[in-house]
A and B are shown apart, each in its own frame.
Chain A
């Protein structure tokens, strides 16, 4: 197991990748188990951050010379996450005004 690839934990890419996996798994767990829609949103934010962390890590470790595509992608991820949060919350508030609830159990009209 080449877990400690480089000297020093903070300079080891795998430590960042494993950390990202942990955050991502936490996000998945949150998404799967929450009934509150805002809880699901929180999980999604976690997952997105894990992805952005991966982007930054690869940008840092995968290039000998400077290349900031990973940074740009991370910024896009952040911006899109913000956008998604705005839309999701707008929808959520509209739903809440109609149904007085944000539980997924109560928003299940769309049945097959």
Chain B
């Protein structure tokens, strides 16, 4: 049963990832990504990481995906939204991706790491302790980063800073 559910979720993940990779429509790609992200959150639950799973949904679905959808909607005019995500150079990309995948599988097979049987554990409290004890410095740095981010994003999108450049006129043939 568990394996079955796992396989379903894994299949959904792979399906979402493949949609992201191969869809010609940017909005479908984004939806594929959304599917993959939610499914990965499900995988996290298999790995006893419910807090991370919830974080994943909160941040990716509630934040990043909304932002990406905003971005798509703001930058895609009219009808071409379904076909403005062209795929080019598929052959070399496939080649490189295949090489990378084979390499990864090779590494997984030859890693020689020892693994233990994992078990479900309540994690929230312990993650809090880790964050505020061992990883307090990166934690604070992330907060600084986010402040910088807020300010930076705000400054970047201020109207008066944006210089609207005239679209280059197509030159008529010289007579």
Contact = CB atoms under 8 A, between A and B. Distances in A.
A61 B116 contact: yes
A38 B30 CA distance: 9
Contact of B75 (A10, A53, A102): A102
Given A15-B10, A66-B126, A22 B101 contact: yes
What does DSSP make chain B's interface, helix, strand, loop or mixed? helix
Main secondary structure of the interface of A (DSSP, over half): helix
B52 A75 contact: yes
Contact of A93 (B74, B87, B114): B74
A56 B52 contact: yes
A28 B92 CA distance: 12
Contacts of B75: 38, 92-93, 96, 102
A35 B49 contact: no
Contact of A79 (B59, B87, B121): B59
B149 A83 contact: yes
Interface string B44-58: 101111011001100
Given A45-B33, A68-B123, A22 B14 contact: yes
A30 B29 contact: yes
Interface of B: 2-3, 5-7, 10, 13-14, 17-18, 20-22, 26, 29-30, 33, 36-37, 40, 43-44, 46-49, 51-52, 55-56, 59-60, 63-64, 67-68, 70-72, 74-76, 84-90, 92-94, 96-98, 100-101, 104-105, 108-109, 113-118, 121, 123, 126-127, 130-131, 134-135, 138, 142, 145-146, 149, 152-153, 156-157, 162-165, 167
